[in-house]
Homo-oligomer: A and B are copies of this chain.
Amino acid sequence: MSKKPAGRKRHNIWESTDLRQEQHDAKRRLILKQAAILFADRGFHETTIDQIAEALHVSKPTIYYYIDSKEELLYDIAHTGLADLNEALSRDQNAGLPAIDRFAQFFTMYGRLILSEFGVCLALISDRSLNPQSRRRLRSLKKQFEITVRKIIDEGRQDGTICVDDPKIFTFAVFGAFNWAPQWFSSKGSSSSDQVIADLLEIFRKVASQGLAVRQ
């Protein structure tokens, strides 16, 4: 087997193992991505494993070499999206910023997720196709984000940068507005996704700083 740029000095066995694993993971992610695209486009039940395989120019059993079931596909897509968001969130943890800015930061990232291949599935595909356990896990993760937002809002009330009547309803409203975006946003439209996210955000930023305007 001729190794790509000739065999590295030592550890080449390990390297090849690593590369294999890497390749494997890469392919698996490709499958998830393609599945996510199709699910988002046609729906979960309207997409067959065959179609996913075909879109990737492989055979159906190949898909099953990388995943265990169609359900796992959906779960992993959602989970990956949520995990990515979590990671992005924890990366720029600007704890020092005013709550309103952290609010904006959160939904900028959330918006990017929800308009990404993986995120769309979160907003568009019902988790009713999942088994109770997977559904519970996913919902718990989502709940976490709700809690995060509510905390930010609470903190905003204290640091005087956010003012809303009912944090719970407000939170749901923002999530709703963002989750609805995949239904109408088209990357082929005039605005970029970042523009759309900013615009949506602006609406809620206004509300949140409504009562404060007077003081300034």
Contacts and interface: CB of A to CB of B under 8 A. Distances in A.
- Scoring A46, A166, A169 by chain B CB atoms within 10 A of each residue's CB, the highest score goes to A169
Contact of A177 (B126, B177, B183): B177
Given A196-B169, A206-B207, A207-B206, A128 B42 contact: yes
A204 B126 CA distance: 27
A43 B129 CA distance: 8
Contact of A172 (B166, B172, B177): B177
Interface residues of A, number: 37
Interface of A: 42-46, 124, 126, 128-129, 164-166, 169-170, 172-181, 183-184, 196, 199-200, 202-204, 206-207, 210, 213-214
A71 B36 CA distance: 25
How many copies are assembled?
4
A117 to B, nearest CB: 17
Contacts of A164: 203
A43 B173 contact: no
A46 B176 contact: no
A46 B206 contact: no
